[in-house]
Amino acid sequence: MRLARLLSFALALVVNFSVTVRAADEVSLWPHGAPGSEGQTAPEVAEKTDAVRLSSVHKPSLTVFLPAKEKATGAAVIVMPGGGHRFLSIENEGTKCAEWLAEHGVAGLVLKYRLSREPNSPYKLEHSMADAERAVRVAKAKAKEWNIDPDRIGVLGFSAGGELAAHVGTKFEPNKPDASDQVEQQTSRPAF
C-alpha cells in the first residue's frame, strides 16, 4: 500500500511538471557562427560526474524553458552556469534552475557560452562576455514569440556565470537601430 501511494505521488509530480513547463528548445545565439569560433568543429562533451558538466562549446545557445501560459508572468531570467570557465555545470546551475523558474511562471533561459579557461581553448573571456550580451539581445528579439516582456528580462549567474552576469549588468551595449541583424537592434542591458 505504501509503495502504491509513493508511485501515485511520483506520477502526480510528473504530470504536474509536464503541465507547467513547456519542453525546452535550444536556440543558437549566432545562427551563422559565433565570431571567433571559425574553424572550431569539435563536438561538445557532456561528462556525468555528480551532475552533468559540459565542455568544448563552440556554438553558444539558449535553452528555453517556458512556463505554462496560465502561469506565465511575462518575466524571464537568463541563467548563466558556472564552472570556472573550464566547463559548464549545465545541470545543477542551469537546467534545474530554469525548470524551477518556469514552474513558478518565469521563463528560464539557460546560456551555453564559450569557455576561456578550458585546456587548449581558443577563446578569451571576451568571447564569453559577447555570448552573454548576445543572449540578452536574442531574448529581447524573441520576446513576442516566447510570450515574455522585453523590459522584464534579467540575468542570474553562478560563479563564472556570475562574472558574466555582472559584466552584462554593468557594461551592457546599446542597441544598434540601423543594424541589418534584428537581434543587434536590441540593447544588451538586462532589466535586473
The share of the chain scoring above pLDDT 90, in percent, equals 84
Domain coordinates in residue numbering, the chain: 2-185
User: Does the pLDDT of residue 11 top 50, yes or no?
Assistant: no
User: Does the pLDDT of residue 6 top 50, yes or no?
Assistant: no
**Amino acid code (one letter) for 91:** E
The 3-state DSSP composition of the chain as helix, strand, coil percent (nearest 5) reads 35, 20, 45
DSSP secondary structure letter of residue 16: H
Predicted TM-score of the model (pTM): 0.87
**Sheet arrangement for strand 76-80:** 21-28, 61-67, 107-112, 76-80, 153-157
| Count, residues in the chain | 192
User: Exposed e or buried b for every residue in 123-133, given b needs 16+ CB within 10 A?
Assistant: bebebbbbbbb
Q: How far, in Å, CA of 60 to CA of 114, rounded?
A: 6
Q: Which CATH number fits domain 2-185: 1.10.3720.10, 3.40.50.1820, 2.40.50.90, 3.40.640.10?
A: 3.40.50.1820
Reference 109, options 131, 129, 84, 80; nearest CA is 80
What is the chain's mean pLDDT, rounded?
A: 90
